[in-house]
Structure formats: structure tokens, C-alpha cells
């Protein structure tokens, strides 16, 4: 089973991308976790950065990062969740 | 059936992203076409640009563009296929 994590921060770009990714992913092959930094998941930011996430939305598949569109840089995310 | 087109230009970033996208997409829900501009598909560039593709690799799902990572701008692609 492939493990995938979709990291996002609730921005409109993220939410739109999330819906499209959820729509096309094969649930039989992929175990998908969605992590929304803005909803109590700010403690997952270091994990995302360690995986190589530079911006959100991003999809990490078995440790490989796919950055999708360009919603917000991780620096912007850190500022937003700290505010 | 959702129709999706994965546009790319053969760069290493594109090929890596293509493999990952193919791995996770649900073939029962998504009819996926892969368009490699560098292999005789340069005539599809206007169609991609009309759909809103700004860089490759990009996945267009039912008309919505997901830019994945950042391989090459469409201007670079046009220069490469013209060379």
C-alpha cells in the first residue's frame, strides 16, 4: 500500500487542489492522509519540511514530494499559524 | 469518467512526476492521456496553453490545471521543441 500525505493550509488554492487529488486517487492503492496545518496540525510542519515540502499544497508519496500549484510558502504558513 | 491529460516535456522532473501520478490515479475513475511535447506532440502546445498550462509537468483534470513541481516553463518548452 502506497502511503501519501496531502499537506495544506486551507487557502483556496489548497482546497481546490485537495478536492481534485481526492477525486482521482485510487483508494485501493493509496492510503491518503490529509494534514491541514491551520486546523490544529501546526505541529506537523517540521515533519513536512523534513520531507522536503517547500510550499503547500503538496502531496508526499512514499517520501517523494509533489508540489502542486503554488498556494503558500512554508514561511507564510508558519507566520499564519503563529498569528 | 473524469478526463485528465498529463502534459510533459521529458525532463527528469516531468518523468519522475509522471510515474508517481500514474501510480496513484484510479484507472476506473480517470481516463488519463499522457502528452509528451518532445515526442512529436508539439502541436498540442496551443491546446495546453489554452487550458491554462504555464509550466510542465501539469495535470489538467476536467479543464482544471494542477501544476506539479516546476520542471520547465512553456516558453522553454517551445524553444526546446523548435531546436
Q: How far apart are CA B67 and CA A67, in angstroms?
A: 8
For A29-38, what is each residue's pLDDT tens digit? 999 999 999 8
Dihedral (Cα; A62, A68, A74, A78), 10-degree rounding: -100
Whole-model pTM: value is 0.80
> Which residues of chain B are within 8 Å of residue A25 when distances are taken between CB atoms?
24-26
> Which residues of chain B are within 8 Å of residue A65 when distances are taken between CB atoms?
69
For B38-77, what is each residue's pLDDT tens digit? 888 999 999 999 999 988 889 999 888 898 876 667 787 7
State whether residue A64 sits within 8 Å of chain B by CB.
yes
Smallest Cβ–Cβ distance between A66 and the set B29, B61, B68 belongs to B68
Q: How far apart are CA B83 and CA B81, in angstroms?
A: 5
**B62 close to B31: Cβ distance less than 8 angstroms:** no
> Which residues of chain B are within 8 Å of residue A70 when distances are taken between CB atoms?
67
Q: How far apart are CA B36 and CA B24, in angstroms?
A: 20
Residue A72 scores a pLDDT above 80: no
**pLDDT score of B14:** 79
Mean pLDDT in residue range A39-67: 91
State whether residue B11 sits within 8 Å of chain A by CB.
no
Lowest mean per-residue pLDDT among A45-54, B22-31, B68-77: B68-77
> Which residues of chain A are within 8 Å of residue B28 when distances are taken between CB atoms?
26
Higher-confidence residue of B30 and A63: namely B30
Cβ contact A66–B17 (<8 Å): yes
**pLDDT score of B50:** 95
pLDDT band at A55 (very low <50, low <70, confident <90, very high): confident
Cβ contact B68–A64 (<8 Å): no
State whether residue B66 sits within 8 Å of chain A by CB.
yes
State whether residue A20 sits within 8 Å of chain B by CB.
yes
Amino acid at each position: 500500500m502506497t502511503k501519501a500525505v496531502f499537506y495544506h493550509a486551507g487557502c483556496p488554492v489548497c482546497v481546490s487542489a485537495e478536492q481534485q487529488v481526492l477525486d482521482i486517487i485510487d483508494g485501493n492503492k493509496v492510503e491518503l492522509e490529509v494534514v491541514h496545518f491551520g486546523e490544529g496540525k501546526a505541529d506537523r510542519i517540521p515533519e513536512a519540511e523534513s520531507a522536503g515540502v517547500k510550499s503547500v499544497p503538496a502531496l508526499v508519496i512514499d517520501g517523494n514530494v509533489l508540489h502542486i500549484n503554488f498556494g503558500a510558502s512554508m514561511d507564510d504558513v508558519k507566520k499564519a499559524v503563529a498569528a
